[in-house]
């Protein structure tokens, strides 16, 4: 012990921090500190004050070196802890976003599928309903007026009269008059029939259009209800994601605060009990 203790005392004024590790190789710093403290106390008791001062300076140098190493190691350890927490938080945040992005993508895919299925069903039901309306809406055939029916009856009567007139070949003049009268009545009847047919068609088409519009309105309400439910579900999904994100961030903040508090306590303990503090003499 005496040999390496003397080596530790020689040249302490010129010794830098890098030389400490080589010089005390094979001996722990604590062992050297205890030996130097005993040596300093012994020199002080025996009146070797110059040698005691050298031992004191060496003790202070070693303690400062050890204290710096301890602080550096602590800072490095605490930095690694903070980096670990940050890295874990970033990975958790990335996983969170991946999961929720997939949830939203699945939701939108399902929403589009529901809208497509409903729109296809509506189209088929609309076509079937329109065909049913055209088959069943009354009146399915025109209801001819009394005037038209009378004209057709007169037309038939004139036609019969024409046949009778042709049978009597000696009566050419009456036959010509019958043909002329029949053509006039026929033209009047055709014109009136076309008018009444158009009126029936327009009125029936208008009624079909009203009933079709009512049917389409029901379909629009059904589609609107689906879109409203999808909107509510989408908003609920958004709120759930936001709430879970807030919980994730809060857990991170709590963990970070807890770690910083623990690190602060350790730092304060190191500041309060440094190695460089004077130690009582053992002898």
Is residue 7 included in any domain, yes or no? yes
Asked if the structure places residue 9 within a domain, the reply is yes
Domain span at residue 72 reads 2-88
- Is residue 216 domain-resident? no
Return the pLDDT at 279.
45
189 neighbors 152 (Cβ within 8 angstroms): yes
pLDDT bracket for residue 176 (50, 70, 90): low
Examine residue 172 and state whether it is found in any structural domain, yes or no. no
Cα separation, 283 vs 276, in Å, equals: 20
pTM over 0.85: no
167 pLDDT more than 50:
no
Q: What is the CB neighbour count within 10 angstroms for residue 161?
A: 17
Q: Coil, strand or helix: which one is 46?
A: coil
Which of 38-42, 120-124, 245-249 is predicted least confidently? 38-42
CA–chain centroid gap for 105, Å, is 7
**Could you tell me if residue 76 is inside a domain?**
yes
Separation CA 209–CA 203 (nearest Å): 10
Percent of the chain whose pLDDT exceeds 90: 40
Number of domains in the chain: 1
Radius of gyration of the chain (CA): 55
C-alpha–C-alpha distance, residues 5 and 19, integer Å: 15
**CB burial readout 202-237, b (16+ within 10 A) else e:** eebeeeeeeebeebeeebeeeeeebeeebeeeeeee
């Amino acid at each position: 012990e005496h040999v390496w203790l003397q080596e530790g005392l020689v040249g302490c004024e010129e010794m830098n921090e890098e030389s400490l590790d080589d010089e005390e190789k094979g001996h722990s710093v604590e062992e050297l500190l205890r030996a130097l403290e005993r040596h300093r106390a012994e020199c002080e008791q025996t009146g070797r004050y110059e040698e005691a001062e050298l031992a004191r300076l060496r003790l202070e140098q070693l303690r400062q070196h050890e204290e710096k190493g301890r602080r550096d190691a602590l800072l490095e350890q605490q930095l690694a802890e903070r980096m670990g927490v940050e890295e874990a938080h970033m990975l958790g945040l990335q996983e969170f976003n991946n999961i929720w992005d997939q949830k939203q993508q699945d939701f939108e895919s399902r929403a589009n599928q529901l809208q497509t299925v409903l729109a296809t069903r509506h189209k088929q039901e609309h076509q079937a309903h329109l065909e049913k309306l055209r088959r069943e809406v009354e009146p399915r055939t025109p209801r001819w007026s009394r005037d038209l029916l009378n004209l057709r009856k007169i037309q038939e009567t004139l036609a019969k009269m024409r046949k009778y007139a042709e049978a009597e070949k000696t009566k050419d003049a009456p036959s010509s008059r019958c043909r002329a009268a029949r053509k006039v009545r026929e033209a009047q009847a055709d014109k009136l029939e076309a008018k009444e047919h158009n009126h029936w068609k327009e009125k029936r088409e208008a009624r079909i259009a009203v009933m079709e519009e009512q049917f389409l309105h029901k379909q629009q309400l059904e589609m609107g209800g689906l879109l409203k439910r999808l909107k509510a579900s989408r908003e609920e999904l958004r709120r759930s994601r936001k709430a879970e994100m807030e919980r994730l961030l809060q857990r991170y903040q709590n963990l970070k605060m807890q770690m910083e508090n623990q690190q602060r306590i350790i730092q304060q303990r190191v500041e309060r009990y440094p190695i460089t503090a004077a130690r009582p003499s053992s002898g």
